[in-house]
Structure 1
Amino acid sequence: MLHRLSPLALVAALVVATPASAADYAIDTKGAHASINFRVNHLGFSWLTGRFDTFGGTFSYDASAPETSKVSVEIDTNSVNSNHAERDKHLRNEDFLDVSKFPKATFVSKSIEPAGDGKAKIVGDFTLRDVTKEITIDAEFVGAGSDPWGGERAGFKGTTTLALADYGITFDLGPAGKEVYLDLHVEGVKQ
């Protein structure tokens, strides 16, 4: 059910070594301050929306050199949640995510291209159903600073679009349902 990811594009855990001025962050899924949401057109009549409830990851960020930033995310595909149990069962089977064979999806950034005004293009490899494709996430810096608990945080939002067929998902959702739109919200806690 996934296609192009945006900071979905964000999945878990390794950050490549970065310059000393870059800070490393863990995506705050424990506090539910991050989300990977999706929508896909259903038969041209409406939008089916959902999210992945279980994922994790890390990112590094240097405000003075954003192009050195890195992102790594891992998604538990079994955690797909469209707020409808029978549909979620179908999304987990071989027509879509095939979670028994492919229990996770991942995103690992390859480059960050600053675009001004806190915006950037995050280019990376997204893997779903054992197929890896390069995708671009349109990202935007939301804010950074001290939190009320003595920590430091940074947050971003992003969007991307994935073509279902690129990942071997050919179930017919009508001519308007060939792509999945991802909407990502990421808040990280400085490590």
Structure 2
Amino acid sequence: MKRMLAGALVALSLAAPAFAAQTLVPAKSQIGFAFKQMGVGVDGNFKTFAAQVAFDPAKPEATQATFTVDLASIDVGGPDGNAEAKKKAWFDVATHPKATFTAKSVKALGGGKFEARGPLTIKGTSRDVVAQFTAKPVGNDLQLDGGFPLKRLQYKLGDGAWADTETVADDVQVKFRFTLAGKPGQ
């Protein structure tokens, strides 16, 4: 019985596609965002994030990817804004320290462009997003550049007095560059 079970496990492992996860290179990667506050453009970023990725541009449908952002690492350009963004009305990092995105599907759009779909969870709220990105080799790495729009109020970012979209716009553009070392299957 043990031999049959071992044989079945070996057969299953050989039949399943073998994708080795690539390694995110933090020093060559970034997650940023842009929005308007009182009509003036503001850019920010998150300094700490992680990813588990297996992405092959030749087989995008086999992609496995999860990204996690440390929300306390937010930088909107100054200590006062950074402290405010961590409070309950915004990211509430004491209760919800992380944001996550998991790619549920990835497809090629042609010309080195791709589209990833999946849930983005911020502050306990999950919504499906569609991120478009490009993939290009850079030396031995693979560089993914892209972004997606989101509505901050759908995630309860800016509760109470901050819900006024005349003060802080509802539209936020998220932009990213992920540099991955290694190749799937290696």
TM bucket (normalised to shorter chain) is: 0.7 to 0.9
Structure 1 position 107 matched with structure 2 position 101 = yes
Q: Which residue of 1 aligns with 2:38?
A: 43
Aligned partners of 2:175, 2:42: CA distance in 1, in Å? 13
Asked whether 1:186 is paired with 2:178, we answer yes
Do the aligned partners of 2:37 and 2:167 also contact (CA within 8 Å) in 1?
Answer: no
Structure 1 Cα separation of the partners of residues 36 and 64 of structure 2:
31
Structure 2 residue corresponding to 1:88, chosen from 82, 85, 89: 82
Give how far 1:144 is off. 5.0
Q: 1:156 aligned to 144, 158, 163, which one? A: 144
- Check if 1:166 corresponds to 2:140: no
Partner of residue 33 from structure 1, selected from 8, 28, 33 = 28
The CA deviation string for residues 35-70 of structure 1, in whole angstroms up to 9 with x for no partner, is 0001111122x1111100011112112232122112
Q: Deviations over 1:53-112 (max 9, x none)?
A: 011112112232122112211110000011210011111101211111110000110000
Letter in 2 for 1:167: Y
- Tell me the distance in 1 between the aligned counterparts of 2:165 and 2:89: 11
Q: What code does the residue aligned with 2:56 have?
A: D
Q: 1:34 to 1:105 in 2, by over 3 A?
A: same
Partners of 1:24 and 1:90 lie apart in 2 by 36
By relative contact order (CA 8 Å, sep 6+), the higher-ranking structure is 1
Q: CA RMSD in A?
A: 1.7
Aligned: 1:126 with 2:126: no
- Give SS of 2:135's match: strand
Query: Which amino acid letter does the alignment assign opposite residue 163 of structure 1?
Result: K
CA distance in 1 between partners of 2:35 and 2:59 (Å): 35
Structure-2 separation of matches of 1:111 and 1:64: 14
How far the C-alpha of 1:115 sits from its partner, in A, is 0.3
Give the deviation of 1:155 after TM superposition. 1.2
Aligned length: 164
Instruction: Find the aligned partners of 1:91 and 1:115 in 2 and give their Cα distance.
Output: 35
1:58/1:188 contact within 8 Å kept: no
Matched, 1:177 2:138: no
8 Å contact kept, 1:23–1:61: no
Gaps of 5+ in 1: 1-17, 147-152
Unaligned ranges ≥5, structure 2: 1-15
What are the superposed Cα offsets for residues 162-188 of structure 1, whole Å, 9 maximum, x if unpaired?
Answer: 111111124224177111111100001
Q: Is 1:164–1:178's contact at 8 Å kept on the other side of the alignment?
A: yes
TM-score by length of 2: 0.82
Using structure 1 for the length normalisation, give the TM-score. 0.80
Q: Does 1:75 align with 2:69?
A: yes
Structure with the greater alpha carbon radius of gyration: 2
Question: Which residue identity does 1:75 align to in structure 2?
Answer: V
Q: Distance in 2 between matches of 1:85 and 1:140?
A: 33
SS at match of 1:24: coil
Segments ≥4 residues shifted beyond 6 Å: none
Q: Which amino acid aligns with 1:186?
A: F
